[in-house]
Structure 1
Amino acid sequence: MGAGSASKQGETLTTQTQLPAELQGQIGQRLREAYNELVSEPVPDRFIQLLQQLKQSEDKGPDHGRGGKK
């Protein structure tokens, strides 16, 4: 039963019908609103520090960090 029902579930997921256009539009609008709020937030200082450390380690040379390009 286990293996057979798992493949049937996979088939069901791929044969589902699309959402109505109105509902898709509403979901898209809500996602855009959430994304706009997120991108307007400031980057935390800790992230900036980590990015600066990464850049410094990359600037030190090929033997540092990624295993070395010559």
Structure 2
Amino acid sequence: MLLEAIACKHCGQTQHVKRYDTTRSGTQRYRCYDCGRTALVARFECSQLRIDACIGIFHALSALA
């Protein structure tokens, strides 16, 4: 399972940002429990996070070999 680190667009916090709700169109909304604000994350941002995470895993596994 791949975990995404979503940063709050308002305060920059990454540890206390959780999935909150969805919009009528089905876009995921996230809530920062530090500043209390919600934000949408565009699909391409999530894709880029997954790509960055995959590259990080690849480099970590390459270092073990």
TM, length-normalised to structure 2: 0.38
Q: Quick check: which has more Rg, 1 or 2? A: 1
Quick check: which one's helix share is greater? 1
Which one scores higher on RCO, CA 8 angstroms, separation ≥ 6? 2
Structure with more of its chain in strand, by fraction = 2
